[in-house]
Every structure is written in structure tokens, then in C-alpha cells.
Structure 1
Amino acid sequence: MVFKTLKPGTLNTSLNKSFGFTLLELVITVGLILILSTTLFFLLSPTESKAKARDTKLLTDLYAFDASINDYKNENGDYPDLTPPTGVTYQHEITTYELNATLEYYVDKSANDGGNDDDVYELGNKLTIL
């Protein structure tokens, strides 16, 4: 049997090696994660998405209500006295009607709807009743 003799200090060489991360590496990694997550948060913008979803639902309800009003008019000859969906204002006269809704996200639709109020979305056959 042959034994090698080790020089002093060589036995602990493998134990002295460090396998962890330096503080600088950790700070850089955490900083990059924060920058990426902040960017992603602002790109997705949950408040904007919620406002868009609310407006989409409101417009869907508004158009469905408009279709119901016109169906009633075609069958009965005059406009009905109805309670509009939440967020919608309804006014009618004998031969005309108007529906109004305040939008959060699609504000440009309100200004370009042909009505007399740029702050609300107007739908109907006479957009100056309300």
C-alpha cells in the first residue's frame, strides 16, 4: 500500500471554496426582478382593464335596451315607460327617445356620438332630449 503525503494546508482546500452568492449579485437580481415586475404591472394596468370591461358591459346593456325599445315601438306604436339598466338614463317623448350612459374608458365615443353632450354617450333617434 502506498500513501501519498499531503502538503500542509492542502487538506482543507476544497472546504474553503464558497458556493453562495455575493451581496452584489443578490442586489442586482432583486433590482432586475423589481424593474421587470413594475414594467409588467404598468403594461397590464388592471384599473384600465376593469374600466374597459365595465364600459363594454354598459354598452352591451345599452344596445340591448335600445333594441328592446325599438321592438316595443314596432309592436305597440309608441315608446315604453321602462326602467333602464344601472348606469343608463332613459327619456322618451311620443315619437322620440334618448338613452345616455357615462363611459370611463371609451370617452372618445361620447364626444363623437352625434349628441349634444360630449360627456355622456347618447343613443336614440333624438339626441337632444336629455
Structure 2
Amino acid sequence: MTITYDWRGDFENAAVNTLHAEGFDHRLLDIDWTAQVHRHSLGWVCARQDGRLVGFVNVAWDGGVHAFVLDTMVKSDLRRFGIGAGLVAAAVRGARAAQCEWLHVDFDDDLRAFYFDACGFKPTNAGLIAL
């Protein structure tokens, strides 16, 4: 299986909306991802197999040295093949090339092994207010 990873790659909103609905278990929404990432993100990574979008991750930032991994998603039938880790590795390279000093992520407990073991993040104290 050959997967390519493109930093700030082109994509169609419909393809990301389909991945997001599948990855986060909700109904299909009509979000303008193109406008959103161009307005708010340092970058994003598209994972493709034979030209088809099979994974996506958004890298938001504060305009300075902090970047944030958001919405890591991989087609369900292609999970557990390292595509998610490949997306995050490409995000790390993109954030590093932009001279960010920190890449943050938050996640649900069931993803601890993925982010800590497969992707190399380290545990840290953080705070959260549910709004």
C-alpha cells in the first residue's frame, strides 16, 4: 500500500466532510474546510492512496511558536496501518519548518497509545474548561 502525504495539499470539502463524519461518528455535515484551514491554520496534511483522500489532519496555530494538532482522521478500513502516525509526522515536519517550537494535541483516553507511543508526544499538565 502506497500512501502519499502532502503538507497544505489540495482537497475537496466533500472528501474531508466524509472523513470527519466517519472518524468522529456523526452525520455528514457541509463544512467549508478549505476556507477554515486557509483562515485559521498553519497547515494541514492530506494522506492519499491512488489519488483518493484517505486521511487528513489540521494544524492550527497561534501565529507564533505554538501549533495544535486537530481533527486527525483516517478512513476506517485503513486504520491501524500507520497512516495516522504518518499524518502526524508530516504535521511535525510542517510545524518545525515554520519554526514553531511546540506542537500540542489533546485527545480522548482511548487515543493515548496512538499519540504517546506511535506519534511521540509526551504527557504534560493541561487545563480544560467545558463551555
Q: TM-score, normalised by structure 2?
A: 0.25
Which structure shows the bigger proportion of residues in helix conformation?
1
> Greater relative contact order: 1 or 2 (C-alpha under 8 angstroms, separation 6 or more)?
2
Larger radius of gyration: 1
Q: TM-score, normalised by structure 1?
A: 0.25
Which structure shows the bigger proportion of residues in strand conformation?
2
